[in-house]
Amino acid sequence: MDNQKIYVTQSSMPPYEEYIEAIKPLWNSHWLTNMGVYHQKLETRLKEYLDVPELSLMVNGHMALELAIQAMGFPKGGEVITTPFTFISTTHAIIRNGLNPVFCDVKPEDGTIDETKIESLVTDRTVAILPVHVYGNVCNVEVIQKIAGKYGLKVIYDAAHAFGVTYKGRGIGSYGDISIFSFHATKVFNTIEGGAVAFLTPELYGKLYNLKNFGIRGEELVTEVGANAKMNEFCAIMGLCNLEYVEQVIDSRKKIYEEYENQLKNIQGIRMFEKKPDVKQNYGYFPILVEAEYPLNRNELYELLKLNGIYARKYFYPLTSDQACFKGKYCNVGLDCSRKLAEKVLVLPIYEKLKWEEMERIMKIICKV
């Protein structure tokens, strides 16, 4: 076994000297947080890059989603139709706002929420639909918006996986009422930790500002109850530096992604998700589905790779609805496709500095089986 470990991802970082030079002014200003000049600059730059009407930076993607939901002012006890095939943050953000998740099954071809099953879940308590562009696979935004319009619902997209993704020439964050992004260290674009809320109406900016900054509006004025979800200047500068290289990062990932596809497309029992037309991808993840025709099941392949120093990820397993914290509350919900995907999906290592010989190690094991 090669002793060099290969992890599922690796953080993108700018040249060391470049970041050090960029943070030097902080030692003169001593302005490290509270919406400083770099925070403001990154908000402007990201609004342009993501092609969204409005944007508010947050300390992380989870707080972006939690505060975005809170900003909508939904009545407590309302229902939010969402997907169980996602990171636990999506579900927690709903529940922590005093709302109830209503889980909708997903589609086998791309893992996104099954828009044909949403309408049957709408009740007089439904307040919103919260789909996820999982692995950067774009949801059926047209049908979802049509359903939302019919019943007067808000649409909040979890676009944590979809930084830089466009659909029909538009930034993915411009669809729905709100989209949230994560800039966690493991993402295509990172600010070490960070996130953002993209939205359509300018008046929402003030509401989000209050929620992320304790509601403070002056030295002696607090206008509403808020939290502390501000991005600091060190993270904002990391984001500004990384933004200069993000297209190179995506291009490098694309080459690796396409090589994976080329080598795996003819292996019986290994399936890949379908690509949606009119989508510019960000190649943030490379998920495969290990089907019954493959000699090993997903867990066995995961363990074999791990034995050889390759750390793939069962992403997402178990479903958020089936996690221990819910104590079996949602286990009887009909989520057949979601549960089947959760048993089959394995995300392989992908990052811009993944070496060809490292990818060959991974392929050799999968093909040899």
Q: What is the pLDDT of residue 2?
A: 56
From first to last of its 369 residues, the chain has per-residue pLDDT tens of: 456 899 999 999 999 999 999 999 999 999 999 999 999 999 999 999 999 999 999 999 999 999 999 999 999 999 999 999 999 999 999 999 999 999 999 999 999 999 999 999 999 999 999 999 999 999 999 999 999 999 999 999 999 999 999 999 999 999 999 999 999 999 999 999 999 999 999 999 999 999 999 999 999 999 999 999 999 999 999 999 999 999 999 999 999 999 999 999 999 999 999 999 999 999 999 999 999 999 999 999 999 999 999 999 999 999 999 999 999 999 899 999 999 999 999 999 999 999 999 999 999 999 999
Dist. CA 288–CA 285, nearest whole Å: 10
Identify the pLDDT of residue 359.
96
- Encode 14-40: b = buried (16+ Cβ within 10 Å), e = exposed: beeeebeebeeebeeeeeeeebbebbe
Alpha helices in 4-124 (DSSP H): 16-23, 26-29, 37-50, 61-71, 88-95
Q: What is the pLDDT of residue 64?
A: 98
Domains of the chain, first to last: 6-10+246-368 (3.90.1150.10), 16-243 (3.40.640.10)
**CB 181, CB 171: distance < 8 Å:** no
Strand pairing class (100-103; 79-82)? parallel
**Can you give the pTM of this predicted structure?**
0.97
Residue 116 and residue 327: Cα distance in Å, rounded?
Answer: 28
Residues contacting 72, CB < 8 A, separation 6+: 127, 128, 154, 156, 177, 178
Question: In the prediction, which pLDDT does 219 show?
Answer: 93
> What is the sign of the dihedral through the CA atoms of 212, 134, 201 and 184?
positive
243 contacts 49 by C-beta, under 8 angstroms: yes
Q: How many CB atoms lie within 10 A of CB 161?
A: 23
